[in-house]
Structure 1
Amino acid sequence: MEAFEKKLKVAIMGAKGYPYVYGGYDTMIKELGERLIARGIHVRVYNHRALFKDRPRYVNGIECIYTPAIERKSLTQLTHTFVSMLHACFSDADVIFVVNSGNGPFGIFSKLFGKPTAINVDGLEWLRPKWKGFGSKYFYWASKLSTKLFDQVINDSEEMRQVYLREFQTDSKVIAYGANPKEDVPSGPISRWDLQSRSYFLIVGRLVPDNNADLIIEGFIQSASSRKLVIVGDVPFDDPWATRLKNMKDDRLIFTGYVKDPNELAALYSHCYAYFHGHEYGGTNPAMLKALGYGCAILALDTPFNQEMLQNGKHGWYFEKKASSVSKIVNKSEKSEDQLAKLRESARNGLTKKYDWDFVTEQYIEVFQGLARRKR
C-alpha cells in the first residue's frame, strides 16, 4: 500500500455519528468508515455529543470527536456540523467529507482555511413536504452553495446528477449507496407481531409525508386483501401527521414503531408478501436496497429515482401517487402469487456492482486521494 494512502486523514461530519446507526447517512459512515480504516486511512468522525452517553476516543479504529449542538428540532443538525467544521478546519485532516446538502454554507470555512472538501448532497430536500416556506428556500440555497463552496459534489444516482446539472449547472460524481444482501433469514422474529411468512405487506421508513405512508395505508384499506399491512418506523418527536396515521382504524394495520433489532428487521423484510416503497424525493434509497438485498417483491411509487433503482420495472412493479392505484396494485398482487415469487427470486440480481460497499469505498478513496494530492 502506498505511503501516501497510509498517511491520509479524512474527517467526516454531517450525520449523527459513529457507531450510531439510525438513518441512511449514519449507516453509510459506518460501512465506509470501517472499510477506510481497513485500507490504512485515518478516519475521524464527528459525533453528536448529546446522543452518546459513553464517549470513547476510538471505536473500532475510528477516531470519534464529540461536538455539541443547539438542541432544537430545526437547528440540531446544522449547528452540530457548524461546530464540527470549525474544529476540522483547525485540525490536521487532509480532507473533509460532509454529508447532507443542508450543510452546504459551511463550506465557506474550509475554503478560507484551504481544506479540500467533498459533500454528498443526497436528495431533493427543498421539495420535501416537511420543509415549507423558509425551510424549502434554505435547502435550495444551501444545495446551490454546496456546488460553489465544495471541491467535489457527490450524488448517489444518475437521476440526481441530472437534477444538479439542470438546477445548478454543476456536474457531480455518482457514487451509489451500498447494500448488504442476505439470504435464508429465519422467520422466527416476526412471531413477535403474531405474523407468519408471506402473511403481510410491509412499509419501512420514517412517518413523514414525503414517504407517502398515508397514501399507501389509505389505498391498502380500500383493497380486498386479507393480509396485514405492517408499518415499520416512526418520528422521534410529536407530530400531528404521524399521529393521524397511527390512529387509523383497520384490523389489518400493524404499527411496530422503530425496530432496532437487526434480526427482527431482517425477518420482516425477508418474509413479507410484498414491500411498499413510497419514497418520493432522493436518489439511491437505503430502504429499497435492503428490500432488494432481502429478496422482496417490491411495489414502488413511480418516480425517476425508483425507476433507476428497479431498472425500469425489471425488479418491481409501480403504482401512481393516488390511493386508487395502491388499492389496484394490492388486488393485482393478491392474484399474482407466482409473479411475486419470481420478483423475489430475481431481487438480489438488482444489486449490481455499483451497490457493493467495497466498490463504493474504492470510489470514495479515489476522490479523497485526488483532493489531497491536489492540495499537496
Structure 2
Amino acid sequence: MKLRIAIAGTRGIPNQYGGFEQFAQCLSKGLVERGHLVTVYNTHDHPYQNNEWNGVEIIHRRDLKYLGTAGQFIYDLNCIRHARKRKFDVLVILGYTSSSVWGKWFPKKTVIVTNMDGMEWKRSKYSKPVQFFLRYAEKLAIRFSHYHIADSVAVKQYLESKYGEPVRFISYGSEIPSVVDDSILLRYGLAKDQYYLLIARMEPENNIEVILDGVHKRNDGKKTIVVGNTENKFGRAMKLKFVNDPHIVFVGAIYDRASLDSLRANCLLYFHGHSVGGTNPSLLEAMSCGAVICAHDNEFNRWVLGEDAYWFNDAAGIAALVTDQNKNASMAMANLEKIRKNHSWKKIIDEYESIFLNAY
C-alpha cells in the first residue's frame, strides 16, 4: 500500500540542526525508497531551498524566529494548517512542545503519530511556569494523537504509568560508516587517540560544564574538542570560563556527517553528558563509529550502553578517570553490535512503517 505521509515538528531536511532533523531525513528517505509519497515541512529560511530532496517533497513554511519561542508555535501552526489542506494519510509530529496546543486543528481524517521526545519539563533551562506548560503540552499530545512513540523504555514506562494510554517503543537509528575520512584531523591539528571529544547543544542539562571542569582538572595535556553552536548565553559563558585553557578547543557547530564520524572514530574518549530525554542520536552515532564512551550515569544512557561505557556523575569522576586499552576495545565492539542489532535505520523504518500500514 502506498501512503501519503507528512513529517512535521523539525526545522527541516537535509539536517542542519540536530537529532529530530536527522531522524526526519533518514525516515523520509527510507519511506520514499519503499514507494511511499513523503513530505517534510521545512522552515522558510532553511539553507536548502529546493522543493525536493532525494524523492522527498519539501514544503517551506514561515518561521518567525524574531519572535523567539512564540515563533516556533506559529511555525508549527503554519505546518498544521497546510497539512489540513493536503489530506495526508499519516502526519508524523516529532516532539510536542509547540505543536500539541494546536491539537484541535490537527487534520481530522489523518492518522496522527507523535514522537513524544523526552521528559522536556525536566530541562533545567526552563522556568517553573514553562515546565508547567510543558507538562500540559505533553498531556495534549497524548490526547490528540492516535499513536504515541517513545524512544526509550524509561519514557515509555513513564508515559503509560501517567496517562494509562499505550505507548510504542521505537528507538532512534544509526548506521555504521563504511569509510572514515581522516582529513579533518589535519584541520584541527589532531592525531588518533590523542584527544577527547564532546558533541552537544550548549545546554546545562547536557553536563557540558561538568565535563569541561573535569578535563580542566585532569590537565593531562590532551586536547578536548567541543563541537556545538556556542552562540547562546550558556555557550558564551562556557567559552569565557575556559578561555585560558589551551587544551579546551571550541570549534563551533559541525553538521557534515563524514567530518563528525572521523572525529568520533579517532578520539581517545567521547564524552556524553545528556541527562534528559530518551535515546540520544549523538550517542548512537558515537557508538556507530567505535568511539569509547564516558557517559553521564542516568537511566537513559544506561539503557542504551549497558555496562559498555565509563560513567561519571561529577567533575571529580572525569578528572580521576583511568582507561584500559583492552577494556576500551571490548566496549567499542559491544556497542557496535548494539547498533547492528537494535538501532539500524532499516529496523527503525520497518517499525514506523508497520504502524502506518496497520492504521489502514
TM class by shorter chain equals over 0.9
CA distance in structure 2 between the aligned counterparts of 1:296 and 1:359, rounded to whole angstroms: 22
Q: TM-score with structure 1 length normalisation?
A: 0.90
Of residues 67, 81, 99, the one that matches 1:86 is 81
| Kept in 2: contact 1:183–1:295 (CA 8 A) | no
Note the C-alpha offset of 1:206.
Answer: 0.8
Note the C-alpha offset of 1:169.
Answer: 3.0
Structure-to-structure mapping, 1:261-340, within 5 angstroms: 261-311=256-306, 313=307, 315-320=308-313, 322-329=314-321, 332-333=322-323, 336-340=324-328
Shift in CA distance, 69/184, structure 1 to aligned 2, threshold 3 Å: closer
1:153 is the counterpart of 2:151 = no
CA distance in structure 2 between the aligned counterparts of 1:88 and 1:242, rounded to whole angstroms: 36
CA distance in structure 2 between the aligned counterparts of 1:295 and 1:258, rounded to whole angstroms: 22
1:51-93 CA distance string (max 9 Å, x none): 2463x33222111111112223312332211111111112221
Note the C-alpha offset of 1:44.
Answer: 1.2
| Corresponding residue of 1:104 | 100
Note the C-alpha offset of 1:344.
Answer: 2.7
Give secondary structure in 2 for the equivalent of 1:108.
helix
1:99-126 CA distance string (max 9 Å, x none): 1121222222126x33220100111111
Give secondary structure in 2 for the equivalent of 1:44.
strand
Of residues 160, 169, 190, the one that matches 1:165 is 160
1:250-282 CA distance string (max 9 Å, x none): 121111111233332111100000101000001
How large is the Cα RMSD of the aligned pairs?
1.7
1:131-151 CA distance string (max 9 Å, x none): 212221221111111111111
Q: Which amino acid aligns with 2:245?
A: D
Structure-to-structure mapping, 1:337-348, within 5 angstroms: 337-348=325-336
CA distance in structure 2 between the aligned counterparts of 1:171 and 1:199, rounded to whole angstroms: 47
CA distance in structure 2 between the aligned counterparts of 1:341 and 1:39, rounded to whole angstroms: 37
Q: Which amino acid aligns with 1:342?
A: S
Give secondary structure in 2 for the equivalent of 1:202.
strand
| Corresponding residue of 2:236 | 243
CA distance in structure 1 between the aligned counterparts of 2:312 and 2:338, rounded to whole angstroms: 19
1:149-178 CA distance string (max 9 Å, x none): 111010111111012123333331011110
Q: Which amino acid aligns with 1:341?
A: A
Q: TM-score with structure 2 length normalisation?
A: 0.94
Structure-to-structure mapping, 1:222-233, within 5 angstroms: 222-233=217-228
Note the C-alpha offset of 1:363.
Answer: 1.0
Structure-to-structure mapping, 1:19-168, within 5 angstroms: 19-52=14-47, 54=49, 56-71=50-65, 72-102=67-97, 103-110=99-106, 113-168=108-163
| Kept in 2: contact 1:110–1:116 (CA 8 A) | no
| Kept in 2: contact 1:34–1:60 (CA 8 A) | yes
| Corresponding residue of 2:348 | 360
Note the C-alpha offset of 1:50.
Answer: 1.9
Question: Structure 1 stretches (4+) deviating beyond 4 angstroms?
Answer: none
CA distance in structure 2 between the aligned counterparts of 1:186 and 1:58, rounded to whole angstroms: 28
CA distance in structure 2 between the aligned counterparts of 1:301 and 1:106, rounded to whole angstroms: 35
Q: Which amino acid aligns with 1:63?
A: E
Give secondary structure in 2 for the equivalent of 1:50.
coil
| Corresponding residue of 2:248 | 253
| Corresponding residue of 1:351 | 339
Q: Which amino acid aligns with 2:198?
A: I
Note the C-alpha offset of 1:201.
Answer: 1.0
Q: Percent identity?
A: 26
| Kept in 2: contact 1:14–1:77 (CA 8 A) | no
CA distance in structure 2 between the aligned counterparts of 1:292 and 1:53, rounded to whole angstroms: 29
CA distance in structure 1 between the aligned counterparts of 2:43 and 2:203, rounded to whole angstroms: 23
CA distance in structure 2 between the aligned counterparts of 1:225 and 1:193, rounded to whole angstroms: 19
Which segment is superposed worse, 283-292 or 352-361?
352-361
Q: Which amino acid aligns with 1:174?
A: F
Which segment is superposed worse, 207-216 or 43-52?
43-52
CA distance in structure 1 between the aligned counterparts of 2:72 and 2:284, rounded to whole angstroms: 25
> Tell me, which stretches of 5 or more residues in structure 2 are unaligned?
none
Shift in CA distance, 193/221, structure 1 to aligned 2, threshold 3 Å: same
Q: Which amino acid aligns with 2:62?
A: P
CA distance in structure 2 between the aligned counterparts of 1:114 and 1:230, rounded to whole angstroms: 49
| Kept in 1: contact 2:202–2:232 (CA 8 A) | no
Shift in CA distance, 346/20, structure 1 to aligned 2, threshold 3 Å: closer
Shift in CA distance, 344/183, structure 1 to aligned 2, threshold 3 Å: farther
Shift in CA distance, 88/184, structure 1 to aligned 2, threshold 3 Å: closer
CA distance in structure 1 between the aligned counterparts of 2:48 and 2:289, rounded to whole angstroms: 33
